[in-house]
Amino acid sequence: MNKGGFVPVKARLSREDLSFLAGAREEVIMFAELGVRLLDLHRPQESGGITSDPGAPIHRCRACMARWPCPTFRAIDETLST
């Protein structure tokens, strides 16, 4: 790392490598936005049914109506936790 905080790249990169690196930043940002949108869709809501414990109602996923936490939320959570 130099004094300016940058790591000088001395490798010879092909045209394809440079093209990939040029688009990678935008693709990572778009992928992160997709993850945020998925999490926004898959969030809990009260199921509205009769429960034996009114203090802890049953929750279902707003998008897929599976019991909370739904498989989509669990997969994202497990991936981000590792």
Per-residue pLDDT for 1 more than 70? Answer: no
How many other CB atoms are there within 10 angstroms of residue 42's CB atom? 21
Q: In this prediction, what percent of the chain has a pLDDT beyond 70?
A: 94
pLDDT band at 71 (very low <50, low <70, confident <90, very high): very high
Report domain extents, the chain.
Answer: 24-46+59-82
Rounded Cα–Cα distance for residues 82 and 80 (Å): 6
pLDDT band at 51 (very low <50, low <70, confident <90, very high): low
Rounded Cα–Cα distance for residues 33 and 27 (Å): 10
Amino acid (1-letter code) at residue 30: M
Let me know the angle formed at the C-alpha of 50 by 47 and 52, rounded to the nearest 5 degrees. 115
Helices (H), 1-82: 15-41, 71-81
- Yes or no: say if 41 and 4 are a contact pair by the CB < 8 Å rule: no
Range with the poorest average pLDDT among 10-14, 38-42, 59-63: 10-14
